[in-house]
Structure 1
Amino acid sequence: MKNVRYLPLLCCLCWGGQALAESQLDLSHPAAPTVHVEITNVKGEVTITAWDRNEVHVGGELGSGAQPLTIDGSENNLSIKVQAQGHNGWLNWGGDNAMSDSTLDVNVPRGASVKVNVVSAPLSVDGIDGGDIAVNSVSGRVRIHAQTPALNVVTVSGNVAFSGHAQRAKLQTVSGDILAPSLGQSVDLQTVSGRIQANGGPWQQLSLSTVSGDVQLTGGLATGGSMSVDSMSGDVQLQFPASLSSSIHASTFSGDLRSDFGTPTQPEHGPGSHLETVAGSGDGKISIETFSGDLRIRKSGSGE
């Protein structure tokens, strides 16, 4: 019968552990309309939603094994970091295994700038209007709907989906796909094996590079704008308006090259195709090089 005496204690421990694992978050901090907010979460999920309040609020659930969460800083600069108990550092390497997933639901002023660091936590940003957005991610997918002057996303295997408008955008992945239908005047897109599908412009400057990922790009150049596209084995399809004004240099080593602007030529001996032509008055500069992938350069509204 001695074991009976320990039952209430065991029940308390079990309920206490469950409460710890289900630590609900409800934190608030006053914020300037253009506050800079930095958010770090190793595992779980981060959702950022803009609202019409001069306040940052954090809801959701803090995983077991994490330090108590706080919103640190001033009304102009705030920091929200999930950290493992007994560990410090940017992403608490070595301590994240002791933590369960944390879900952060963060509200920020509509004009806020956000910087987010995540590892295996999916990220969603919605409603930012006027602030910069910067993201560092490893494996979580990244979804952003915003109006931003500057967008910078770096991820390893997570897909990146952006909607809204970014005046300047830099999107980099290793194996993740990039989907961005509205990119502004300055664009840098890089991937190894991920697929790139992007629209926008008129571009003052655009740089795109891929190793094996396919590319679909639609848009036009600003007056005097420049574009550089480099692909190893991925297929590339570019679509420009009929009013395009630019010189065009295109070449492929072993892939098939077709263009609605000018006529590609093939060397007398050996593989490959080249295109040197001028569209309109030739105000801009377009350079496209592929190794083994096929290349299509099309006018808007034209068929294959």
Structure 2
Amino acid sequence: MKNLQQFIISLAISVAPAAALADDIDVRRDIASDATVSVSNIAGSIEITTWSRNEVHLTGETGPNQELIVTESDQGIRFEIREIEKKSYSGESDLELVVPATASIVAIGVSADITISGSRGARLTAESVSGDVEVEADVGRADLESVSGDVLFRGSAERTYAESVSGDVEIHGVGGEVDVQSVSGDAIVFASIVTLGKFESVSGSLELDLEAADGGRLTIATMSGDVILNLPASQSAEFSAQSFSGDIDSRFGEVKHEKYGPGSHLKYSSGNSGTVIRVESFSGDIDIDHK
């Protein structure tokens, strides 16, 4: 959450002269089709859509104690909502931003929901503290984070990182490298072919529907959350699964139970693809099934 931390710090140290009334926003700028467009908001919402023009268009309204800062560079453009004076409540800003479809996007919110659709850029980053993050895109890399909000992604990405502390995570359509992290929220992932997958949760459940690539590696771990892993019946891999006090059910190989005390484990090898699949839970159940 480096981008989010930097934004919160900038709010703490920003200084401006006096309070103001709410202002309408209507800003247009010409930019390159592959530029980076950044937008940050304290409270309210950020809605980003795309078009075929080499231009950005930001509309909305600032809160009564907020101002819009626009910064342009060779890399792209940044829009930032800041407080004018330090107050317990500075109002909300609802921002609507249209960007080139192939631009890279960075959207950062504190108490702001983030919605992005239509992006086809090299990279997309969306982070919020207490807001939800909802993205529909086909990008090279997607980084999605929320602390207490939910995270939803639909589309495709070659590299995906998604994290929520207490919210749920739902990912559809990704492949390649996938990293999903949750503490108490549940995570659902419907992926295509995964080359490197890391899926972790403390008390939330993990439900994964995917195929591991030849030579790929999947690492799946929870503390008390249950794991459901659905794979093609033809999946070739070296499987291992272990739960200290939970149950294991697998369509791949035979599950063995500890002779003394709780716990069960699985070791099974199918084919010679070089794929490795590791599943662990301390007290949660593990179910490895065919699609």
Q: Equivalent residue of 1:234, what SS? A: coil
1:155 aligns to 2:156 (yes or no): no
- For 1:286 and 1:261, the matched residues in 2 are separated by 11
Q: Is the 8 A contact 1:186 1:205 kept in 2?
A: yes
Q: Residue 136 of structure 1 corresponds to which residue in structure 2?
A: 127
Q: Residue 38 of structure 2 corresponds to which residue in structure 1?
A: 38
Q: Residue 65 of structure 1 corresponds to which residue in structure 2?
A: 65
- For 2:217 and 2:178, the matched residues in 1 are separated by 11
1:96 Cα deviation from its structure 2 partner: 6.0
Task: Write out the 4+ residue segments of structure 1 that deviate beyond 6 Å after TM superposition.
Answer: none
1:151 Cα deviation from its structure 2 partner: 0.7
Alignment-mate amino acid for residue 78 of structure 1:
I
- For 1:277 and 1:124, the matched residues in 2 are separated by 43
1:262 Cα deviation from its structure 2 partner: 0.5
TM-score calculated relative to the size of structure 2: 0.90
Q: Is the 8 A contact 2:108 2:128 kept in 1?
A: yes
**Residue deviations 1:102-127, cap 9 Å, x none?**
01100000001111211010000010
**Residue deviations 1:256-288, cap 9 Å, x none?**
100000010012111111100012335200010
Alignment-mate amino acid for residue 228 of structure 2:
Q
Q: Is the 8 A contact 2:37 2:103 kept in 1?
A: yes
Q: Is the 8 A contact 2:127 2:133 kept in 1?
A: no
Residue identity (%): 35
Cα root mean square deviation, aligned: 1.4
Give aligned pairs, total: 272
Alignment CA distance shift 1:202-1:71 (3 Å): same
Q: Based on CA coordinates, which of the two structures has the bigger radius of gyration? A: 1
Instruction: Give 1:165's match in structure 2, choosing from 156, 170, 182.
Output: 156
Q: Choose between structure 1 and 2: higher strand proportion.
A: 2
1:238 Cα deviation from its structure 2 partner: 0.2
- For 1:296 and 1:190, the matched residues in 2 are separated by 19
**Residue deviations 1:50-108, cap 9 Å, x none?**
111110110111111112x243204641010001115xxxxxxxx36341100110000
Q: Is the 8 A contact 2:201 2:221 kept in 1?
A: yes
- For 1:98 and 1:275, the matched residues in 2 are separated by 55
1:177 Cα deviation from its structure 2 partner: 0.4
Q: Residue 25 of structure 2 corresponds to which residue in structure 1?
A: 25
Instruction: Give 1:263's match in structure 2, choosing from 254, 260, 265.
Output: 254
Equivalent residues in 2 for 1:168-187, closer than 5 Å: 168-187=159-178
- For 1:281 and 1:76, the matched residues in 2 are separated by 46
Alignment CA distance shift 1:232-1:176 (3 Å): same
Q: Equivalent residue of 1:82, what SS? A: strand
Alignment-mate amino acid for residue 49 of structure 2:
T
Q: Residue 84 of structure 1 corresponds to which residue in structure 2?
A: 83
Alignment-mate amino acid for residue 38 of structure 1:
S
Alignment CA distance shift 1:70-1:268 (3 Å): closer
- For 2:184 and 2:146, the matched residues in 1 are separated by 13
Q: Is the 8 A contact 1:31 1:76 kept in 2?
A: no
1:153 Cα deviation from its structure 2 partner: 1.6
Q: Is the 8 A contact 1:27 1:70 kept in 2?
A: no
Equivalent residues in 2 for 1:135-284, closer than 5 Å: 135-284=126-275
**Residue deviations 1:17-38, cap 9 Å, x none?**
xx933x2211101110011011
Q: Residue 106 of structure 2 corresponds to which residue in structure 1?
A: 115
Q: Is the 8 A contact 1:43 1:96 kept in 2?
A: no
- For 2:79 and 2:215, the matched residues in 1 are separated by 43
**Residue deviations 1:122-150, cap 9 Å, x none?**
00001001331112210000000000111
Alignment-mate amino acid for residue 59 of structure 2:
G
Q: Equivalent residue of 1:183, what SS? A: coil
- For 1:99 and 1:54, the matched residues in 2 are separated by 33
Alignment-mate amino acid for residue 57 of structure 2:
H
- For 2:247 and 2:69, the matched residues in 1 are separated by 57
Q: Residue 14 of structure 2 corresponds to which residue in structure 1?
A: none
Alignment-mate amino acid for residue 261 of structure 1:
F
Deviates more, 1:69-78 or 1:170-179: 69-78
Q: Residue 49 of structure 2 corresponds to which residue in structure 1?
A: 49
Unaligned 5+ segments in structure 2 are: 1-19
Q: Equivalent residue of 1:58, what SS? A: strand
